[in-house]
């Protein structure tokens, strides 16, 4: 039977660290205090705010591109902690043994802190980190077991978590006693809501990152086909990828983003042409513009492409 809430735990100690702005060795040492060894291709810079109350932690971290190595702890206090990493800028890739979990902006990864794992950020990135102990999952009877590591797709609850974290960290809160317990319980409830709302998050974790990015790119193309501002560069920018990375994702599927844009616009043009009674040059120009084409000639070429496939 599911309990109505996680067990209430006493709040004794708290540790706050606001306004952190460090570079190179001091920045690496700060990450080391959080259990991470840092490897970066050049100068390493970070900005952070964090608060820890007993087994609950909340942090907002921005840093330059880097690979973070975490070695699992055998200490009881650390072996039962879960981390929720919410990407708010850039892409986070977590490798845990043979598995790879990837979260882009507004997505999150829930993972245990005890095993060894690696966090890769190939560009400057920012994230919110929420630290919970395993009585959270026991108290709420979470299934599947979040200790296995899961990817959570974007949802209103994750956005709410980010907003709440920014608000809490923005006032330099020093939680103690009841305030610490209330803060922790609030974030547990928000995390639970994000998990419950994301019913297919286990399935998402099993989809290869390239396939997830490809499907998301197709969604962007389909929804924005009629906009002349939709370009390969704009799609890459929305997915926080370089144009070359985006092209590689499509190459795996045997196509290219430019081809898919033209096909989506051709399908849209076909739909619009069915409702057009005239066939004058001006009528075709209106359809072409509304379907995202720069000219009637480019629309005709795209329509021929669709007709021959």
**For 76-111, what is each residue's pLDDT tens digit?**
444 446 788 999 998 898 887 667 888 888 899 887
**Ramachandran assignment for 104, one of left (phi > 0), alpha (psi -120 to 50 degrees), beta (any other):** beta
pLDDT at residue 63, as a whole number: 94
Q: Which one is predicted more confidently, 78 or 36?
A: 36
- Residue range of the domain that includes 278: 209-307
Query: Is 8 among the domain residues?
Result: no
- Proportion of the chain above pLDDT 70, given as a percent: 74
Given 205, 222, 248, the domain boundary residue is 205
Query: Same domain, yes or no, for 46 and 79?
Result: yes
SS3 at position 106: coil
Examine the domain organization and report whether 218 and 298 are in the same domain.
Answer: yes
- Please report whether residue 138 resides in a domain: yes
Q: What is the CA radius of gyration of the chain?
A: 23
Which tens digits make up the pLDDT trace of 155-205?
Answer: 888 888 899 889 888 876 666 666 667 777 788 778 777 777 665 444 444
Q: What crossing angle do the helices spanning 243-252 and 257-274 adopt, rounded to 10°?
A: 80
Using CB atoms within 10 A of its CB, is residue 178 exposed (0-12), middle (13-18) or buried (19+)?
exposed
Place of tokens 């939680």: 175
Nearest to 129 by CA among 94, 99, 100: 94
Determine how many CB atoms are found less than 10 A away from the CB of residue 73.
15
Same domain, 167 and 296: no
For residue 76, the tally of other CB atoms under 10 A from its CB is: 8
- Structural contact between residues 212 and 102, judged by C-beta atoms closer than 8 angstroms: yes
Q: Are 135 and 189 found together in one domain?
A: yes
pLDDT for position 60? 94
CB 45 within 8 A of CB 69: no
Same domain? 191 vs 223: no
- Mean pLDDT over the full length of the chain: 77
In the listed set 205, 240, 272, which residue is the last one of a domain according to the structure? 205
- Which of the listed residues 205, 229, 244 is the one where a domain comes to its end? 205
CATH number at residue 254: 1.10.10.60
User: Is 238 or 87 the better-scoring residue by pLDDT?
Assistant: 87
Residue at 21 is within a domain: yes
Give a yes or no: residue 232 inside a domain: yes
Residues 154 and 213 both lie in one domain: no
The answer to whether the pTM exceeds 0.85 is no
CATH of the domain at 189: 2.60.120.10
Classify residue 9: in a domain, yes or no.
no
Quote the CA–CA distance of 132 and 195 in Å, as a whole number. Answer: 14
Residue 7 lies in a domain: no
Average confidence (pLDDT) over 134-158: 63
What is the four-CA torsion angle of 238, 243, 245, 248, rounded to 10 degrees?
A: 120
pLDDT band at 279 (very low <50, low <70, confident <90, very high): low
Together in a domain, 240 and 119: no
Count the domains in the chain: 2
Shared domain for 64 and 128, answered yes or no, is: yes
């Amino acid at each position: 039977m599911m309990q109505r809430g996680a067990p209430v735990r006493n709040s004794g100690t708290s540790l706050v660290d606001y306004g952190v702005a460090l570079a190179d060795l001091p920045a690496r040492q700060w990450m080391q205090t959080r259990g991470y060894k840092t490897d970066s291709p050049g100068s390493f810079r970070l900005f952070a705010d964090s608060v820890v109350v007993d087994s609950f932690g909340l942090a907002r971290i921005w840093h330059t591109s880097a690979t973070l190595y975490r070695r699992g702890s055998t200490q009881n206090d650390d072996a039962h902690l879960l981390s929720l990493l919410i990407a708010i800028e850039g892409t986070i890739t977590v490798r845990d043994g043979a598995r790879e979990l990837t979260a882009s902006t507004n997505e999150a990864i829930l993972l245990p802190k005890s095993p060894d794992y690696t966090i890769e950020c190939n560009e400057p990135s920012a994230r919110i980190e929420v630290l919970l102990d395993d009585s959270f999952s026991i108290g709420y009877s979470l299934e599947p077991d979040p200790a296995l590591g899961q990817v959570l797709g974007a949802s209103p609850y994750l956005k709410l978590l980010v907003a709440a974290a920014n608000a809490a960290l923005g006032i330099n809160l020093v939680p103690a006693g009841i305030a610490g317990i209330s803060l922790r319980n609030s974030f547990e409830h928000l995390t639970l809501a994000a998990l419950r709302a994301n019913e297919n998050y286990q399935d998402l974790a099993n989809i290869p990152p390239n396939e997830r990015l490809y499907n998301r790119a197709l969604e962007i193309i389909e929804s924005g086909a009629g906009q002349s501002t939709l370009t390969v560069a704009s799609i890459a920018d929305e997915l926080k990828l370089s144009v070359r990375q985006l092209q590689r994702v499509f190459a795996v599927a045997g196509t290219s983003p430019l081809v898919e844009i033209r096909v989506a616009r051709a399908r849209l043009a076909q739909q619009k042409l069915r409702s057009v009674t005239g066939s004058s040059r001006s009528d075709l120009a209106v359809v072409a513009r509304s379907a995202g084409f720069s000219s009637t000639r480019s629309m005709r070429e795209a329509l021929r492409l669709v007709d021959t496939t």
